[in-house]
Amino acid sequence: MSKAAICVVVPVYKAMATLDRCVESVLAQQVEGGLTCILVDDGSPDESGALCDAWAAKDDRVTVIHQDDLGVSGARNSGLAAADSEFIVFLDSDDALRPGALQAALTAQRAAPQDFVVWHYTTDAKDPAAVTTDAEPRPQAGLARLWLDCLLAMPWNKLYRADLAKQLQFDVQYTLGEDLQFVLDYIALLGQTVPEFGYRVMTSPLTFYDCSRGGTLSTRYHANYCDIWPKHFAKLNAACHAAACPAEDMRPLHRAELQVFAEGVADIMRRDPSPTQRLKGYKAEAALRSPWLRALLERMKIEHCYSAYYLPCRWRNVGLVCRVDEARRANAPLYGKLDWAGYYLLLGRMRRD
């Protein structure tokens, strides 16, 4: 029996409310060369495992893996190891594929076999945008721009060559940002295999991303947030340097990295479980002494790259970092005032683009 063209790997944990929608969206896809779907029941304590088995009983394209709770990375690794297909797509159990998504991605891939096909997503379940095979070619030097366009960090908006993806694993030591590590590892391996590859960005959204449900990793407090993200960003910056990303992309990338880090500092003061504000402040001040942060600020100084967080972080002023962050999150007029105040304190020598 020949391999299916695409295997969709779905980690499943407490997914009773959304699993049917997810699997239905997969099995409704019409894919030249066929498709399979692997549901990885990651020790789910509800009836999600039984629901997975019911889908496998109804459709022989569905395979179920039951395992102890290894986390989303462990679940994806199990699905990855079991996949027997030409290409692999990841999908979360609370999300869904839009009609025609997989064939559109496959058509774009067949038209540019050397390229890495990625796509936009939508948060509107009834998004009227048509799914098309139109794709924008981007060079390897467009890597930083993929991050800035919110296309890089997630694993579920990409078509992976199975022969390459199966050589990799999601790093289970991380509970935050591990997807970016996997994607960067895949890009590095693709570059070794196909040095002339580029990116093909589908112009229509192919995945419905459900952001309505609470309790995702991005909403939880992570005590090691300010340790984890510098590691991810160091790897991202090295990849961007190797890809010769242009300065006009690197400046906003560094600005975005500084904001992500500063948000983590502010989150310590807002949600860290330490019993006193003094202990929280000590942790936040320690984060602001990070060697990675100092190196980033020096790079931004050389680039003349301005951010509202630049001076608060350079001054290691936890209170000011928190004020800027709170004003930005609230979209308050104070944010604009603090932003421009810092810019003028630097005598307008920094770039805002």
Residue 330: HSE in the Cβ half-sphere, 13 Å Cα cutoff: 11
Domains in the chain and their CATH numbers?
A: 4-217 (3.90.550.10), 221-345 (no CATH)
Note the pLDDT of residue 210. Answer: 87
What single-letter DSSP state applies at residue 96? E
Strands 199-208 and 135-138: antiparallel
How far, CA to CA in Å, does 217 sit from each of 26, 112, 181, 211, 327?
A: 24, 35, 16, 12, 23
Average pLDDT over residues 302-331: 98
Structure confidence by residue, pLDDT tens digits, 235-286: 999 999 999 999 999 999 999 999 999 999 999 999 999 999 999 999 999 9
For tokens 């391996």, the residue is 189
Structure confidence by residue, pLDDT tens digits, 230-242: 999 999 999 999 9
